Amino acid sequence: DAGVTQSPTHLIKTRGQHVTLRCSPISGHKSVSWYQQVLGQGPQFIFQYYEKEERGRGNFPDRFSARQFPNYSSELNVNALLLGDSALYLCASSFGGLNTGELFFGEGSRLTVL
């Protein structure tokens, strides 16, 4: 079975642009979470979606938005990019929205903002 897949794997943007990152969860998983990992730090929670509804939001500005589609895939959008948005963006899936299960992570999308 395929794991969590993310695209693109690497991308370079300039300040002020916007970016869309995509994630496909493991088949059968209904929850998708997004994390930002800045070099040298632990992943920081951005969003969680379950059954196409936002269930949790981290401490990120409104420039960050996301959505989940009927097939449970998800997009993370970031507008008006800043240099500080440069990071590895990780998507993780899990079966349920409120459970004690572990997260399954994709390889991430590395965003560089120049």
Partner 1 sequence: AQSVAQPEDQVNVAEGNPLTVKCTYSVSGNPYLFWYVQYPNRGLQFLLKYITGDNLVKGSYGFEAEFNKSQTSFHLKKPSALVSDSALYFCAVRDTGGFKTIFGAGTRLFVKA
Which positions touch partner 1 (CB under 8 A)? Answer: 4, 33, 35, 41-45, 48, 50, 55-56, 58, 90, 92, 97-100, 102-108, 110
Amino acid at 35: Y
Please state, in angstroms and rounded to a whole number, the distance separating the CA atoms of residues 92 and 80: 24
Please state, in angstroms and rounded to a whole number, the distance separating the CA atoms of residues 40 and 28: 33
Residue number with CB closer to partner 1 (58 or 86): 58
Residue number with CB closer to partner 1 (45 or 64): 45
According to DSSP, the residues that pair with 33 across neighbouring strands are 48, 92
In whole angstroms, the minimum distance from the beta carbon of 97 to partner 1 comes to 7
Residue number with CB closer to partner 1 (80 or 98): 98
In whole angstroms, the minimum distance from the beta carbon of 56 to partner 1 comes to 3
Determine how many CB atoms are found less than 10 A away from the CB of residue 100: 6
Distance of CA 64 to the CA centre of its chain: 10
